[in-house]
Structures are given as C-alpha cells and as structure tokens.
Amino acid sequence: MSRDRFNELQGYSDREDTAIEMGPLDTSQAAGDGGYPDGRFFNLLDGAARQMAQVDEHIGLIANLHEQALAVTSESKYRQISSDRDQLVADTNGIIAGVKQNLDILARTVDDPTSSKEQRVLYATRQQTLAKKFSEQLQRYRQMEYQYSQRNRERLERQYRIARPDATDEEVANAIDSDQAGQVFAQSVMHSSRIGDARRVLRDVEERQADIRKIDKTISELAQMFVEVSEMVNRQQEVIDSIDTAVEETQVHVESGRKEVNTAIVLRIKARKKLWIILFISIIIIVVIVLIIYFTVIKK
C-alpha cells in the first residue's frame, strides 16, 4: 500500500466539508423577530453530522490497519502500515475536535436571550441528540483502540518469551510497561541462547511498545473527550428541563388567567342581569306611582 494510493482512497485532502462548519458563532445574522437563524443552526448541525459520518468511516479504516499491523511480519511493511495509520488517526482526531467545537457552538445558541423558548427547546433537543450519538461514537472508537492495544500486548508477550522462555508473567509485564522496555529486553537478549531471533524480536518489541504508548495516549484523549461530551449532554438536559418548567409555569399562569377572565365575564353578565332587573323593577314602581297619582289626585 503506497502513501499516495491510500490518500487517494481516503480523501485526506478533501476537508472542505469540515472547514466550512468550523466558523465562530455569528449572532449578528439573526433575522425576523430575533434569535439565532434556524438555517444557520441546522447547517451547523448537518455539518457536524457529516463529520461524524466521516469519523465512522475512518474508525473502520483504522481497525483494518490495526489488523494488518498485527498480522504483518515484514519490518518495512509494518512501518508503512503504522505510518499510514498514524496519519489517519491524526486526521480522525482532527475531525473529532471539529465535531466537538461545532457541538459547543450549537450549545451556545441555546443561551441566546433573543430566541424564543420554543426555539431554545428545539435547539437544545437537537444538539443533545447529536451529542449523545457523538459520545457513543467516541466509546466505539475508544473500545476499538483498547482492543488493539490488548492484542498488541499479547503479541509482545509472545515475542518476549522468544528471547526469555523462562520469564515469569511479572517480568513480561514489566518489560512491556516499562519506559525502558528496550533496555530491559536488550538485557534479556544477552542471556538468550537464540541471539538471532532475540535481536530481531527486540526491534519488533521496541516498535510495538512505542505503538502501545501512542494508542494509550489516544485512548486517554478519547476518554477525556467522552467526559466533556457527557457533561455537555447533562447541561443541555438541565437547560431543556428548565425551559420546559418555565413553559409549564407560563401555561399554568395563562390557564389561571383564562379562568379568572371567564369568572369576571360571568360576574359581569350576572351584574348586568341584576342591573336590568333593578331597572325593570324601578320602571314598574315608577309606573305604579304614576298610576296612583293619576287616579288619586289628578282624576279627582
């Protein structure tokens, strides 16, 4: 596998999709009655989703290169595979950082005071859904890297025992985990009766021990990223709950106000009825008085 062919297949140079989505939050583009424009928000959301799809593809390619690295016996072939994989891992980690940045930007739109509560709930829900999928993706990536690291360690254990068939499990573990693994292994070579094999294995052990350290670093970074994204999901849930509570309280107040208005209308209708009754009675009384006056005074 040549480097040019690998880059051609994976499109390392084709990063236009992600570059567009990395811009800062621009609330000055708000339109209508205020708030972050829906078009801009969903463009960022779709861009992050495309980046995540690219990460999924890269994870599969990295896993394939891991398998090749474990199976290869040629030192030059192993170095080529390792170099290709390291480049792909670097590209993948860069895309992951871009997804995290976009999710942060999307999360900040929820705090925009010019957005309506309905918009904020919509934004928070969509951002949270994507963040959950991203955290699951990070978990899959980390699990894949962990499995490769463990299989690499098992290979190193077998290689170490080529030089030291009588080595204890503790000695093997110390040789793999020690920062001075090369020196530890070199000392075992001096006491081995299979010098040719031991020296060849020594180079393989040193390269793969360095490989394990790189993988462990990636696992650590993914774990930290997972924690940050999980905290983001929790914060968004708090925002959603807070907005939902405010909306429910508003609905309660509106319902209470509606009932009070209805009560006031009923009371007003009753008051008008009483007024008409009083007016009618007053008219009757006036008519009676007029009749009495007419028949008792005027007609006489």
Q: Is 299 helix (H, G, I), strand (E, B) or coil?
A: coil
**CB 236, CB 127: distance < 8 Å:** yes
Q: Cα–Cα–Cα angle for 252, 253, 258, nearest 5°?
A: 100
Q: How confident is the model at residue 17 (pLDDT cuts 50, 70, 90)?
A: very low
For the chain, the distance separating the N- and C-terminal CA atoms, rounded to the nearest angstrom, is 134
Q: Is 267 helix (H, G, I), strand (E, B) or coil?
A: helix
21-25, 49-53, 200-204, 258-262, range with the lowest pLDDT: 21-25
Q: How confident is the model at residue 296 (pLDDT cuts 50, 70, 90)?
A: confident
Best CA proximity match to 177, nearest among 151, 210, 148: 210
**Mean pLDDT for the stretch of residues 65-82:** 88
Residue whose entry in the numeric block shows the structure tokens 């499990």: 169
User: What structural domains and CATH numbers belong to the chain?
Assistant: 3-235 (1.20.58.70)
Q: How many CB atoms neighbour CB 107 within 10 A? A: 20
Q: Residue 61: is its pLDDT beyond 90? A: yes
Tell me what pLDDT residue 184 has: 59
Tell me what pLDDT residue 261 has: 75
**CB 121, CB 244: distance < 8 Å:** yes
Q: How many CB atoms neighbour CB 138 within 10 A? A: 24
Tell me what pLDDT residue 5 has: 34
Best CA proximity match to 126, nearest among 245, 244, 240, 22: 240
CA 12 to chain centre: 24
Interacting residues of 7 by C-beta distance below 8 A, sequence separation 6+ = 13
Q: Residue 197: is its pLDDT beyond 80? A: no
Higher pLDDT, 122 or 13: 122
**CB 36, CB 109: distance < 8 Å:** yes
Angle between helices 169-177 and 195-293 (to 10 degrees): 70
Q: What is the pLDDT of residues 128-151, one digit of tens each?
A: 889 999 999 999 999 999 999 998
The helix (run of H) or strand (run of E) holding residue 149 is: helix 117-163
